[in-house]
Every structure is written in structure tokens, then in C-alpha cells.
Structure 1
Amino acid sequence: MHSSNDNSDPVVVVLAAGQGQRFRASGAQTGKLQAQLHGRSVLEHTLAAVAASGLGAVLVENSPLWRSEGMGHSIARGVALSPDASGWLILPGDLPAISPQSLRAVAQALQALGGVVRPQIQGQWGHPVGFSAAWKDQLQQLTGDSGAQSVVRAAQTQNQLQAVVLQDWGALADTDTLADLARVAERWDQRPTAR
């Protein structure tokens, strides 16, 4: 999946290479991204929200030629696959209830403010985190499992970390366990409708 977009828009990097061990450990028979939710897989719902946002996207998954060595490695790959983007929204693939408006809101804040943009929902940090092109080199050097936390901390130190307030519980609702998935399924009809 690689859709083209206007170069002024950031690209959504959808992270789908994780092993989902916590999900299987919670009793699931499949990986969390393959788990079914209202007739589609978790990942299909996430990708549908990205498509509805109108933003370009890169899907990072394991393949015979490439295997992720952690979230940081996946982020670095997504950035490398879209090197000319004006910025990147890093979106874990297990957020099936995220709204397209949330993705657009983070993209717009990133375009307006630059630096690093982090959504805040009811006082909690959510997804996706947006990074301007200025952070490309640091993102491409990421490895390991801590994702882009080191880049977020660097941005904070340099007063380049901005918060954007969202009213979207789906931006917090990852599906790490079967219980998480059940909670998302229960709240599904309360999702903001795509506009």
C-alpha cells in the first residue's frame, strides 16, 4: 500500500510488523491485526480510516525480504519508504476505531506548527504522533522496541513538541489484548462518523 498525495501533506506510516505477543498471550488464536471486528480485521479498519482521511500512506509489515526488529526499526523503514514526505504520522496498525478526522487534525497541526505533534485525548497521549521532515534523520536511525520516544523527548527538550487536543477515544483504543478488542467492539457505535 503506497498511495501518492500532495507533497505538502504528511504521510501516514502504518505499523503492522509487530508480533502481537500480548494479544496471543491473552488467549487469542490470531495476531491482533488479523482479529475480526464487525466483519473486518483490525488492520483493515485502521487502513480504511487512513484511506478516508485522504492522506498518503505507507504500510510497514514483515515480508520474506524484510523483518522488523522492533517498533523503532519499523518506523525507520516507513520513513525510508517515503523519503520525500513533508512529515510522517506514525500510526500503530491496531487502532481500528481511530477517526479519519483525527488523522487530518494531526496532519493539519503538523503543517501549521512543524516540529513534533502529539494528540491529547482526555489528558492522555494518543496516536498518531506527527513528525516534520526536520526529524527525518533521527527517525531513520531508530531501532529497538521503544518506537520514537527518543525523538519525542528530543523535540520536547528543544521546545518543538506541540499537543493537539482531540475528542476521539479511538485514538487511544489500541487492541493489545482480547479484553481491549472487546472494549473497542462495545464502544464501536460511539465512534465519530467519517466526514
Structure 2
Amino acid sequence: MATNSPVVIVLAAGRGTRFQASGGAGSKLQADLHGKPVLDHVLAAVERSGLDHHVVHSADGDGMADSIAAGVRATATASGWLVLPGDLPLISAPSLHSVARALAQQPVVVPTFEGSRGHPVGFARECFAALAALSGEAGGAAVVEGYRREGRTLLLPLDDPGILTDVDTLTDLQRIHALLAAAK
């Protein structure tokens, strides 16, 4: 992609308490999925996209919003950001490209699959101050909602269930493992 493309902020700082509570051992992002950690699947898709990226492994505070703010502040000169949780191992590089391109149309882009909202959510440069100030658990929802009320959010339909398919529990990991096995 061109140098004015947004940076993918990969969120990898979460504690994964739901995963552990469901019987998973350790970090969901390090859980084995077809011979490599869940996070490595996400990073491989980002690498294939050719977009610059920044991985947030830790943040001041415990919430997703704290991680988003840390990633945005660390890449403050970017033209925009694609916020991508590190637990979406089926995300595709074309989906990342689609969201990045759509930022030319609206300052906030939310990908959808069959009517459900997914990730990565795209934010244009003008969202910097709002994103950098985020804190808590709600992620970027307040920023998305503010732009939605102004009519400046694009819901972008994609043909990629990977934008929704995250690993929150051991059952999720097993389901994704079966999907990958069936695809081979």
C-alpha cells in the first residue's frame, strides 16, 4: 500500500480471562492453532496486506480502549488506523485493504458480515485526539458512535466471516480449529 495508508493497530494486551475461565490454558493469543499461536495467524494476514502495523502488547490501564489509545499515540504520525484485535485468526488481507481504502469515503469505517459489525474498525487521521484520549473497556465505541450520529460512519459489507470470528473461549478456539481443518 502507499505510504499514506493507515497503520494496523493489533491489540494484544488483553488478559484473556474469558478464555481461561472456559478451560483454556494461558493466553488465548498464544494458544496453538494449527501449529502456530492465534496471534501469529493475525500477524500473517497483516503482513500479507502490506500495511504498516504496530502491536500493542501492554498499555496503561486494563481495557481495550487503553490499548487503542496506546497504539494510536505510538503511531501518532499515521494517516489513520485500523484497529484489529489480536484474536481474529481468520481475518483476511483483502478485508484489511478494503477497510483501508474505504477511509477515503468516511472518517470511520466499520466492516460488516451478514449485518453483524466486525473488525478492523478504520479511523481517519481526524480521529487522533479522540482515539488517543480513550480509556477503559469500551474500545473505540464512543468514537464510532459520535461519528455515526454525525452521519460520518461507513458500514462496509464484506464477504469475510473472519472479521467476526474471534477466540474468546476454548470452544471458540476448537471451532476455528475445525474450520481450518475443513478448509484444507
TM-score tier, shorter chain, comes to over 0.9
1:33 counterpart SS class: helix
Residue 114 of structure 1: aligned partner: 106
Q: Cα RMSD (Å) of the superposition?
A: 1.4
- Aligned length in residues: 183
Give 2:180's match in structure 1, choosing from 175, 188, 192.
188
Would you say 1:80 and 2:73 are equivalent positions?
A: yes
Q: CA deviation at 1:190?
A: 6.7
2:30 counterpart SS class: coil
Q: CA deviation at 1:67?
A: 4.5
Question: Structure 2: how far apart are the matches of 1:68 and 1:96?
Answer: 25
For structure 1, the residue ranges without an aligned partner over 5 or more in a row are none
Q: CA deviation at 1:51?
A: 0.5
Question: Structure 2: how far apart are the matches of 1:78 and 1:189?
Answer: 33
How has the CA–CA distance of structure 1 residues 31 and 90 changed in structure 2, closer, same or farther, with 3 Å as cutoff?
same
Cα deviations across residues 150-169 of structure 1 (Å, max 9, x unaligned)?
00100101111101111111
**Which residue identity is paired with 2:109?**
V
Q: CA deviation at 1:189?
A: 5.4
- Please say if residues 17 and 67 of structure 1, whose CA atoms lie closer than 8 Å, have aligned partners that are also in contact: no
Q: Residues 1-195 of structure 1: matches in 2 within 5 Å? A: 6-62=2-58, 67-110=60-103, 112-188=104-180
In the TM superposition, structure 1's runs of 4+ consecutive aligned residues that sit over 4 Å from their partners are: none
**Which residue identity is paired with 1:89?**
L
- Please say if residues 61 and 136 of structure 2, whose CA atoms lie closer than 8 Å, have aligned partners that are also in contact: no
1:88 counterpart SS class: strand
**Which residue identity is paired with 1:186?**
A
**Which residue identity is paired with 1:163?**
L
Question: Structure 1: how far apart are the matches of 2:3 and 2:79?
Answer: 6
For structure 2, the residue ranges without an aligned partner over 5 or more in a row are none
2:123 counterpart SS class: strand
TM-score between both structures, scaled by the size of structure 2? 0.95
Q: CA deviation at 1:183?
A: 1.3
In terms of mean alpha carbon deviation, does 182-191 or 125-134 score higher? 182-191
Question: Structure 1: how far apart are the matches of 2:2 and 2:29?
Answer: 29
Question: Structure 1: how far apart are the matches of 2:116 and 2:23?
Answer: 28
